């Protein structure tokens, strides 16, 4: 691919990202608070309608980066021949691969009393271990679900206190406080939980958030496959995207909270047997300590 084509592809990517960011900001401002949330001032501040959508251009990403997994042709600096198509590193070195041929399903934004139990039941039915990226305020609200996730042998990942997509732009002390508060809420529910990973909401990584999560002993966790289930594309589309894009080593992003996840649950019913036929599935390793 020529340099001019790459530059053009990069510009298109930036424009699309800007449009998506604007559309999301508009959509988010129109979304009412979740009716199930508690009352009071705090409930009106934090909207639970999360989604790990592509970040706005406020987060241009690192040199050579690009969000959303292995699409090197869309990266403005994809001319770096050293980058392999199956590069396991995402933005700022965040992980996009299991590091083996096994694949890992990850579920973000919960726990949620409606959807998390359905996801857990399906995983148990198929004997699959996965990884749950937990939002601190949801852990505080639903400690029983955190305990269920841990008891079933799934891996726990910190997903910030209240899904702050701008977290990476805050001060190192504020980032640290947010991550520690989230870990505290998870451990208040499940004292033995090992929290080995952190996933930045929206994938809006910055150097500061990566460095802070690593200082706290957590591995920054991105993804390779994103069926954008938070946009509610329907079970068929979610299934199709995951089956088309998952390769050995892929980390797959899905959601067990943040909106109507019936499509995700229905997709899982089709995906689990098919993925098990093609791959080994694993909960991401939590280390030796």
Task: List residues near Zn ion by CB under 5 A.
Answer: 50, 52, 108-109, 201
Nearest-angstrom CA–CA distance, 16 and 71:
14
Classified as helix, coil or strand, 133 is strand
Q: How many Å apart are CA 110 and CA 255, to the nearest integer?
A: 8
| Shortest spacing between CB 133 and Zn ion, in angstroms | 7
Which of 108/164 has CB closer to Zn ion? 108
Q: How far is the CB of 260 from Zn ion (least distance, A)?
A: 15
Output the smallest distance, CB 52 to Zn ion, in A: 4
In the bound state with Zn ion, the residue whose beta carbon lies nearer, of 255 and 271, is 255
Least distance in angstroms from the C-beta of 224 to Zn ion: 16
Are residues 130 and 155 in contact, defined by beta-carbon separation less than 8 angstroms? yes
Distance separating alpha carbons of residues 160 and 182, to the nearest angstrom: 6
Cis (ω within 30 of 0) for the bond into 288? Answer: no
Are the C-beta atoms of residues 168 and 146 closer than 8 Å to each other? no
Q: In the complex with Zn ion, which residue's Cβ is closer, 76 or 220?
A: 220
How far is Cα 265 from Cα 269, in angstroms, rounded to an integer? 7
In whole angstroms, the minimum distance from the beta carbon of 12 to Zn ion comes to 26
**Residue placing its CB nearer to Zn ion in the complex, 68 or 201:** 201
Nearer to Zn ion, 108 or 178 (CB): 108
Residues with catalytic function: 108, 255
In degrees rounded to 5, what are phi and psi of residue 55? -70, 165
As given in the structure block, the two tokens for residue 236 are: 């068929």
Q: How far apart are the first and last CA of the chain?
A: 46
Q: What are phi and psi of 4, to 5 degrees?
A: -65, -35
């Amino acid at each position: 691919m020529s340099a001019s084509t790459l530059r053009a592809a990069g510009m298109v990517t930036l424009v699309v990202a800007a449009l998506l960011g604007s559309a999301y900001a508009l959509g988010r401002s129109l979304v009412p608070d979740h009716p199930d949330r508690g009352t009071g001032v705090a409930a009106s501040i934090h909207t639970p309608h999360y989604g790990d959508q592509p970040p706005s251009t406020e987060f241009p990403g690192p040199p050579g980066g690009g969000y959303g997994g292995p699409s090197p042709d869309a990266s403005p600096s994809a001319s770096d021949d050293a980058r392999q198509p199956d590069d396991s590193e995402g933005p700022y070195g965040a992980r996009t691969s299991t590091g083996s041929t096994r694949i890992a399903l990850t579920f973000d934004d919960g726990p949620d009393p409606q959807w998390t139990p359905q996801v857990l039941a399906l995983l148990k039915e198929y004997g699959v271990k996965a990884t749950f990226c937990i939002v601190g305020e949801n852990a505080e609200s639903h400690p029983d679900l955190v305990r269920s996730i841990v008891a079933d042998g799934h891996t726990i990942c910190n997903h910030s206190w209240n899904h702050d997509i701008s977290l990476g732009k805050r001060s190192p002390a504020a980032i640290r406080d947010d991550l520690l508060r989230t870990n505290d809420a998870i451990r208040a529910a499940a004292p033995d939980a090992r929290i080995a990973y952190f996933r930045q909401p929206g994938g809006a990584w910055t150097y500061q958030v990566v460095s802070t999560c690593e200082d706290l002993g957590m591995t920054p966790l991105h993804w390779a496959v994103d069926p954008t289930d938070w946009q509610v594309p329907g079970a068929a589309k979610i299934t199709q995207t995951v089956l088309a894009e998952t390769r050995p080593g892929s980390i797959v992003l899905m959601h067990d909270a943040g909106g109507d996840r019936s499509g995700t649950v229905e997709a899982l019913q089709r995906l689990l047997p098919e993925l098990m036929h093609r791959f080994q599935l694993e909960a991401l390793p939590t280390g030796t300590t």
